[in-house]
Structure 1
Amino acid sequence: MNKSVRIQKNKYYDSVTLMLVSKELKKLDGVNEVLVGMATDLNKELVGNLGLSNNEIEELNANDFFITVEWEREENLEELLLKVEELLNKKDEASDDYSPATLSSALKYMDDANLVIISVPGKYAYQEAKKALNKNLHVMLFSDNVKVEEEKELKEIARDKGLLMMGPDCGTAIINQVPLAFGNVVNKGHIGIVAASGTGAQEVSVIIDKLGGGISQAIGTGGRDLSKEIGGIMMLQGIKALTEDEETKVLLLVSKPPSPEIAEKVLQAAKDGGKPFVVSFIGGSPEVVEKYGGVYGASLEDAAIKAVELTGLKAKSMDSNMNLEELLKDQLKLLKPEQKYLRGLYTGGTLCDEAMKLLSKDIGGIYSNIPLKPQLKLENLNISKEHTCIDLGDDDFTVGRPHPMIDPSTRQERLLKEAEDPEVAVFLMDFVLGYGSNPDPAGEMVPFIKRSKEVMMEKGVEALYIASVCGTEKDPQNLREQEAKLKEAGVIILPSNAKAVAFSAEILKYQAKR
């Protein structure tokens, strides 16, 4: 086996591009392992773990670009180097936009800008966000792995300056009808969203669109905002901003389970704002929401419906033309009595959390990397047991890799692994569209869905594949086209995560009694 290293000093490419290039190179014949990257400490560690490091790589700094590869024959190496050049040149040609190297140079190019999106490794994110805030810019911080104390300081600075500090780990926002990061293309309207959840914001915004409503603004806060440590600083800022916004008639607040005392603080602020508001705090208490005059959303779909109705519109029906009762009977015939379990493979953390909350009422405890109860934490995150739902977008799975909404390889690999278990009855998945997401998430998964079916057939069983697609027909990937690809592969498509979960629950309840 041969190993080679190629280096270019002071040559920069963004990390997501290089991760996707590495993924393509691994498909080449004769290439056993390869990593293309900037010489950050994290990448050096990854190279060491792969057994592809050497002194030359160790001496590089974070501004240096490298290729390190394990290959079989000389022509394999030549083909790989040509492919690297082709992919990187393709990336350069794909955009005529000016790409400034620093915030200062960007502001010279766009001196009227008032918002900056930051996506850098977590260790550098704090200092870049602080620079932006000190220049009186609103910030959307996509980066994760930022320390809690750094997040709190950044949000306190923003609050004192009257700015938005969305994030860290903020994946979605829609500001003045411009989708940011993973945002979707939705109708303009009168519902203002503040969400401590990226996919939660996406799910409610696309459902509102399907129902005939529209969005005034969607402000992301980052997933930790409603923790006791952060204190809901940015959700309070978002509520204040939307209360003052004339286009916003109804507020919709979305979060994974918040700290109880912070939840009440947020609800009081919403009440004081004087506008009708709907709350979908996954697993939250209806009584607490109603105590402050809010409308409780039992699911993201339910919250979206109620928000649309509060604007005075009659919500359109989202029910599909399928006869679900007949479909359920037909699908149950495919399962054997020993098939009892669910495997949820999610790219969206809030959708995963919502699935577990809704399912646990019917099927009991669900193991996860983000469990509802500590005792349900998977001992080994790579090995599922009984009912399991995995958030593949959690930090556990994204260190050194793109988010699975960008690169689905983590879910592809996991699905094939799960198919080895003949006791699985249902595979439950989300497909999230929008800017920033993979250009063809359904198309990327279909070959692996088909292969997983073959794996199960070899074991003498069939499983059911159930999914929802979070997106609109106006999104770059097109909702209908994505749904059609999945249906062709035998996937049952429901119009929301909540409906996909409910259908799965009916199957699992029946199987538990057999």
Structure 2
Amino acid sequence: MSIRTKVFKNMYQDSVSLMQISARISALPDIEQASVAMGTETNLAQLRDANLDDGVKAGPNDLVIAVRGGDAACDAALALAEEALTAKPQESGGDGIRPPPLVSLEMAAEQENASNLALISVPGDYAAAEATKALHLGMSVMLFSDNVSLEHERAIKTLARDKNLLVMGPDCGTAIINGMPLGFANVVRRGAIGVVAASGTGLQEVTSRIDQLGAGISQALGTGGHDLHEEIGGISMLYGLDALAQDPDTKVIVLISKPPAPAVAEKILARARAAGKPVVVNFLGARAGDMNVPGITPAHTLADAAGFAVALLSGAALPESVAVVGAPDAARLDEYSRTLPSIRRFVRGVFAGGTFCYESQLLLRERGFPASSNTPVASNMKLEDIWHSFGHTLVDMGDDDFTRGRPHPMIDPTLRNQRVLAELNDAQTAVVLFDLVLGYGASMDPATELLALIEQARLQAAGRDLPVLISHVCGTQADPQVRSRQVDILREARVLVAGCNAQAALWACHVAQAQAQK
């Protein structure tokens, strides 16, 4: 295998575009690994860690292509990446949409003086400075960039609060503003439910589920995963909550997060109680007693949060919690698992969505199945070797451990699919539990890509029964991938497709319990 690199001096493209190009060239035949990234110190270190460094010299304003594979394949990959990077934007065709100007924030604000939101996706070392510039120009900020220190995050959010502006992020991957999906968002109908979330895939699950239930979204605001830490104090969630409380188009509010710092949770719940509108709160893993606040509707799961919000909007009774409903597809679960040998005992979860991994761990643990993970919840075990499962194991393939030098699995599911195949081939696996996350920026046909590996596993099994496959597809009919199409492809491959992430986890528990009793 050869390693080839190419550097483009003083060329910038946002991280989502670079991940998409990385995914395209990674899929070429005879390419083992590929990365397209800015030449920051952090990214260069990640290239070295991924064995993609041939001594390349680049600065933070330079763009680096690095590939490993066969000689001819490397040449083809470099050529394809260069073509994608240097292609001229397509003409608007008279639709009034112009490509963004390659200028400073100040010049862009002057040219588009009605703009009041800046989406920033630059290397983390420079993100806080760009966000500060945007705030001084009177613009709220969606900060897609990660690797921003808590000190810098607090500084920019404090400045935003002083200027009565909103900062979504750092590491905010999803938002829907006035019906416009940003980042990894899904296509959902407009409506009267507003959402503020410290989790990107949590936001996607709740907004998509609300759409599936026939309601719609007024605004969906991300905060970044650190906003509810004690050091930050929930500045963005509190701002978003207040904004939705004052928004006449928002009738019900949903708040989503992992458990906040106690002092931050108390402040947010007090503000939610005073919102003057129904507020559903899903703090995943929070103690039930902490959520007993008058005027607040606590939700145990992401799906519950969506269902409760829709019920409150229509004035209907709250639906039964997903977390206490027995597997409605128990007959098929039993049919698929009846012939499993007793050695197949363990649940193996492979997730693109970090919050889906987190929620599934909680639900399995509640039912007596503690699991190892690279991102364990409280009282679960840290996986000693992230590349190999042990016992019940649930892995977040979108965590930094797996994405250094690689695109996120929602963009390029190759590494995730390989892990699914490994779990299918493990003689101790009873259930392979996985998610498919649809929407803008995500892989255009994730089910078909996975189907080929499932068929490969069936051929290798030579007549032996495979583990039970259970999936959850996060998305909507209006998404580019079309949710029903992805579901149909999975079902044709004998994958059980749950209605939500929590239900999928409960189905996995059902199989594990049956195997434990053999």
TM-score (norm 1): 0.90
How many angstroms apart in 2 are the aligned matches of 1:438 and 1:208? 22
Aligned pair 1:468/2:472, yes or no? Answer: yes
- Asked if the contact 2:458/2:466 (under 8 Å) is kept, the reply is yes
Q: Deviation at 1:85?
A: 4.5
Of the candidates 144, 158, 161, which is equivalent to residue 159 of structure 1?
161
Judged with a 3 Å threshold, the aligned counterparts in structure 2 of structure 1 residues 372 and 30 are, in CA distance, closer, same or farther, namely closer
What does 1:140-159 correspond to in 2, within 5 Å?
140-159=142-161
Instruction: Measure, in 1, the Cα distance between the counterparts of 2:188 and 2:160.
Output: 28
1:234: which partner in 2?
236
Does structure 2 retain, via aligned residues, the 8 Å contact 1:257–1:282?
yes
Q: Supply the distance in 1 between the matched residues of 2:260 and 2:465 (Cα, whole angstroms).
A: 41
Measured on the aligned residues, the alpha-carbon RMSD in Å equals 2.8
Write out aligned runs for 1:136-285 (5 A).
136-285=138-287
Alpha-carbon spacing, 1:37–1:193, altered in 2? closer, same or farther (3 Å)? closer
Instruction: Give yes or no for contact 1:11–1:63 (8 Å, CA) kept in 2.
Output: yes
Q: What's the CA shift for 1:399?
A: 3.0
Which of 59, 62, 65 is 1:61 aligned to? 59
Deviations 1:328-376 (A, max 9, x none): 2211223111101111111111111111111112232111122123561
Provide the rounded CA distance (Å) in 2 between the counterparts of 1:88 and 1:333. 52
Q: What is the correspondence of 1:31-180 to structure 2 with a 5 Å cutoff? A: 35-49=35-49, 53-54=53-54, 57-58=56-57, 60-67=58-65, 79-88=76-85, 92-93=89-90, 97-180=99-182
Partner secondary structure for residue 219 of structure 2: strand
> What is the CA–CA distance in structure 1 between the aligned matches of 2:381 and 2:463, rounded to whole Å?
28
The separation in 2 between residues aligned to 1:373 and 1:459, in whole angstroms, is: 40
Structure 2 gaps, min length 5: 93-97
SS of equivalent to 1:139? strand
TM superposition shift of 1:288: 2.7
Give the corresponding residue for 1:288: 290
Structure 2 CA distance for partners of 1:447 and 1:307, relative to 1, 3 Å: same
- Distance (Å, rounded) in 1 between the aligned partners of 2:49 and 2:288: 48
Between the aligned partners of 1:76 and 1:471, the Cα distance in structure 2 is 34
Counterpart CA distance in 2 for 1:356 and 1:280 is: 16
The residue that corresponds to 1:509 in the other structure is: 513
- Using the alignment, how far apart are the partners of 1:497 and 1:2 within structure 2? 41
3-state SS of paired residue (2:447):
helix
What code does the residue aligned with 1:220 have?
G
**2:486 equivalent to 1:482:** yes
Measure the CA separation in 1 of the matches of 2:67 and 2:184. 32
Q: Using the alignment, how far apart are the partners of 1:127 and 1:412 within structure 2?
A: 38
Deviates more, 1:373-382 or 1:62-71: 62-71
Counterpart residue identity of residue 158, structure 1: A
> Quick check: 2:269–2:293 contact (8 Å CA) kept in 1?
no
Aligned partners of 2:184 and 2:441 also within 8 Å:
yes
- Please name the residue that 1:396 is paired with: 401
**TM-score (normalizing by structure 2):** 0.90
Contact 1:422–1:461 (Cα < 8 Å) also in 2: no
Amino acid corresponding to residue 206 of structure 1 in structure 2: S
Cα distance, 1:94 vs. partner?
9.1
Q: Deviations over 1:202-231 (max 9, x none)?
A: 111111112222221111111111111211
Identity of matched residues, %: 43
Shift of 1:485: 1.6
- The answer to whether the Cα contact below 8 Å between 2:8 and 2:62 also exists between their aligned partners in 1 is yes
1:432, 1:193 → 2: CA distance? 19
- State the Cα distance separating 1:53 from its structure 2 match: 4.2
Instruction: Flag the 1:423–1:159 CA change in 2: closer, same or farther, 3 A.
Output: same
CA contact (8 A) 1:431 1:470 kept: yes
Identify unmatched segments of 5+ residues in structure 1: none
- Sort the Cα spacing of 1:78 and 1:473 in 2 relative to 1 into closer, same or farther, 3 A: closer
Aligned partner of 1:354 in structure 2 is: 359
Paired residue type of 1:440: D
Q: Secondary structure at the match of 1:469?
A: strand
In structure 2, the residue corresponding to 1:350 is in which secondary structure?
helix
Residue 422 of structure 1, CA deviation? 0.8
* Residues 399-448 of structure 1, C-alpha deviations (whole Å, 9 max, x = no match): 33222211212212222332342100111111111222222222232222
Distance apart, 1:396 and its partner CA: 2.5
How far, CA to CA, are the matches of 1:215 and 1:292 in structure 2?
25
Show CA shifts across 1:264-322 (max 9, x none).
11100111222221111112233332324211112111121111111125599999xx9
Contact map agreement 2:19 2:408 (CA 8 A) in 1: no
Distance 1:24 1:458, change over 3 A: farther
In structure 2, relative to structure 1, the CA distance for the partners of 1:146 and 1:71 (3 Å cut) is closer
Question: Per the alignment, do residues 151 and 484 of structure 1 end up closer, same or farther by CA in structure 2, a change over 3 Å counting?
Answer: same
